[in-house]
Structure 1
Amino acid sequence: MNALVFLDFASVFVFALTGALVASRAQLDPVGFAFVACLTAVGGGTMRDLLLGRDPVFWVAQPSYILVAVTAALLVFFTAHLFESRYRLLLWLDTVALAVAVAAGTGVALDLGHHPVIVVLMGITTGTMGGLLRDVVCNEVPLVLKQGEIYVTAAFAGASSAVIAVALGLSGLAVLALCAAVTWALRAGSLQFGWRLPVYKGRPPRG
């Protein structure tokens, strides 16, 4: 298994766990758990592959990704009640999922030889779209839209660090590891230390 396939599998599994945790908060049945987990797990990668013209989309070419997501959903269905704060667990699992997914999306775009701008955008898309779909479908406030949250910014920084590393002559696993580490450090730091970005303070619109 090469590094990009491993990252896709890891991203699918961890994002599926977060999707299932949100499903537990919504008190869904096992099929609902599986649906939300799969939507979360493959949403970002699907958007990436469609935008890059990859045919077939990664989980269509290898349905075992769906089986991994369903397994994660069932695991959470039977164990979620054991955790005192599922939302806190969700947030921390999401930091890992974001880091792995950004590295996966960035790596795919780099492997295909795309322009640095596209590489960064694919890293952001892969890392954020699954979680956005998860939160919208389950009627949660999307993490990517919460005021001042370092989320998309973390994805942007991680993908950008990979582009810079390639420009400096690095390649392979070192680039992907740097991408994931930068993304995770920023997102985790925002949770642990309360890092926030400034938000717009202008006057509200009239009418």
Structure 2
Amino acid sequence: MLDPGETPAYLETLLLVLDLLGVFFFAVSGSLLAARRQFDLVGSLFLAFLAGLGGGVVRDLIINEDVPNAFANPLYLIPPALAAGLVYFRLVTQGRLRRTLLVFDAAGLALFCVTGTRTALAAGIEPIMAILLGMATGVVGGLLRDVVANEVPEIFNRHGLYAVPALFGAGLSSLLWTLDVFNWLTAALVMLAVFTFRLVSFRMGWMAPNAARNAGS
């Protein structure tokens, strides 16, 4: 994916596929949340687009892209529409809705924190700032989705870590890039690690420290 020896066309195609997958996973989480909140189809589409595209748009605006990818390439419209359709026709299992939403959200988080970091680094952003942009790419879509749906955002949910896995994935991606060993295999391993980290933290109830030390729960 990101190996300097690969052809530019191959690199660009694989990056696009990964980005679209991330959009799809987050978009499904948005439509599942709309179904849980009993929104109509328009609401489902809106949450799908917001969750799937929000993080990438913020990233592209910060790194001063002329037009964010989500608006420059019509392909980015397909994953949210597909996600809303799958949920509408019940092709995505809606039993145990919360768990299904969590899995798709974790998958989107894993993909976006890595691809977001890589996009920032390729644009010439310094590694530390690229880490922050990668984390933002991963969490902003879910944050917007939850705020609009009047839910407590996952980033503020104490039952499981959210921003920490994204920060871990972005930091590891930046380190691998700096060491010149960031390729399709290492990127995939980082994504898998972030996905597992997120789900295990939720399962085990891991929590970040309180804002004030020794504050009550």
Using structure 1 for the length normalisation, give the TM-score.
0.91
Aligned equivalent of 2:152, options 123, 135, 141? 141
Post-superposition Cα deviations, 1:49-95, rounded to whole Å, max 9, x if no partner, equal 00001111101111221122111111112207953211111111111
Aligned equivalent of 2:64, options 37, 47, 53? 53
Q: Using a 3 Å threshold, how does the CA distance of structure 1 residues 25 and 118 change in structure 2: closer, same or farther?
A: same
Distance 1:106 1:93 in 2: 20
Q: Using a 3 Å threshold, how does the CA distance of structure 1 residues 33 and 163 change in structure 2: closer, same or farther?
A: same
Equivalent residue, structure 2, for 1:12 = 23
Q: How many residues are treated as equivalent by the alignment?
A: 204
Distance 1:202 1:191 in 2: 22
Post-superposition Cα deviations, 1:11-30, rounded to whole Å, max 9, x if no partner, equal 11111100000100111111
Equivalent residue, structure 2, for 1:194 = 205
Output the amino acid matched with 1:173. W
Structure 1: 4+ residue segments shifted above 3 A:
200-204
Aligned equivalent of 1:87, options 88, 98, 101? 98
Equivalent residue, structure 1, for 2:6 = none
CA contact (8 A) 1:166 1:175 kept: no
* Structure 1 residue runs without a partner (length 5+): none
> The residue matched to 1:79 in structure 2 has which SS?
coil
Distance 1:35 1:71 in 2: 13
* Structure 2 residue runs without a partner (length 5+): 1-11
Distance 2:69 2:183 in 1: 20
Distance 1:60 1:169 in 2: 31
> The residue matched to 2:131 in structure 1 has which SS?
helix
Please tell me whether residue 132 in structure 1 is matched to residue 139 in structure 2.
Answer: no
CA contact (8 A) 1:157 1:182 kept: no
Equivalent residue, structure 2, for 1:158 = 169
Output the amino acid matched with 2:172. S
CA contact (8 A) 1:13 1:72 kept: yes
Using structure 2 for the length normalisation, give the TM-score.
0.87
